[in-house]
A and B are shown apart, each in its own frame.
Chain A
Amino acid sequence: MTNAIRLPAGKAGNTQYAQRNKAQSTLEITVALIAVFILFLGSVKIFVWVNERMVLRQEAYEKTRVSAGSSNFEVQVDESDFPKLDIFGENAQ
């Protein structure tokens, strides 16, 4: 037993098959496009986040160089103000 749809034979059947197939493809391509878009958006967000964070870390490091090289050995970079990774806007205020 199979659940395959049995289409009527002849020209009408072929047309109907093509329409159903096209509809299926439309759904699939829609989902795929959304996925690709999300993937791309995520890539952009990660790209921006990584680079922004590197720049901020570098700035923070440069600011702590002198104090780290003095008698204050416990200098820590405060990363609490650094941007969070926010791909879907879940951290938006």
Chain B
Amino acid sequence: MTTFQSVFASFLSGDGELYRILGLTVCMTLLSTGFSVLAGFPSGALLASSSFPGKKLLRRIIQTFMGLPPVVAGLFVFLLLSRKGPLGDLSLLFSLPAMVIAQFLLIFPIITSLTLSAIESKQSAIRQTISTLGLPRYKMYLLMLWECRRSLLTVILTGFGRALSEVGAVMMVGGNIQGKTRVMTTAIMLETGKGNFGTAIAMGLVLLILAFIVNIIANHFQEAVYE
């Protein structure tokens, strides 16, 4: 119980170490979710509004990648960025960009696939409206995304949650280096390994609170959309 309180005390008093870990976690999560949204929204919209042979197959492949095990994504990025790997010269391994790349591999399929479903469920209604406007293609996509903004917010939250909770991939390619690539989940793993269960569970709670705050903000936006 004392370790428990001490973690919260150090959290409230602004202890440097914990804040650095938390800051890095937020930074990494925002970056990987952001990039995935930037790439996933257009891909989803494009897929929803076009039809071509093999679309069904492509869709199933993307859906399969939604369940990509984090360690597999981590292993892939590790081999890619390793000194002996094809991108070894960039020396990106064990850095924040490496973690963002690995997480992108995990979250991009989720965002794409969910965006595709969200748009498809509304498509017929939107299509009719949009086609009467005679807009250029890219504006049509934007309008389509805008019309689905409420469900797309949930899509972003899903990706965000995956990024926040993921540990296997970031452990592998980030390396859990103190002050450089240590995020909340890997820090929790470390404290558990040390046998500091109280500290570990307290950090887990901090992570949950963070997720809760993000959800409150997102719900606020969602309600604003309704009004």
Q: Is chain B found bound to chain A in the same assembly?
A: no
| A residues neighboring B (CB under 8 Å) | none
